[in-house]
Amino acid sequence: PDSVGAPMLKASCPLSATVALAAEIAALDEQVPLRAAPGLGLVHCAVASKLGLRNYQTQVDALAQQHAGHITWLSPTPQGLSISPQGPALQICRKLKHAMDPHGVLPDEFATAY
Mean per-residue pLDDT of the chain: 82
**Residue 113 pLDDT greater than 60, yes or no:** no
Q: What is the pLDDT of residue 4?
A: 66
What is the average per-residue pLDDT within 29-57? 86
Q: What is the pTM of this model?
A: 0.71
pLDDT band of residue 81 (cuts 50, 70, 90) is confident
CB atoms closer than 10 angstroms to residue 96: 13
**Residue 114 pLDDT greater than 70, yes or no:** no
Q: What is the pLDDT of residue 1?
A: 46
Q: What is the pLDDT of residue 104?
A: 84
Q: Is 80 left (phi over 0), alpha (psi -120 to 50) or beta?
A: left
Q: Could you give the percent of the chain with pLDDT greater than 70?
A: 82
What is the average per-residue pLDDT within 19-31? 93
What is the average per-residue pLDDT within 42-48? 87
Q: What is the DSSP string of 10-65?
A: EEE--GGGHHHHHHHHHHH-TTS-EEEETTTTEEEEE---TT-HHHHHHHHHHHHH
Maximal CA-CA distance, the chain: 50
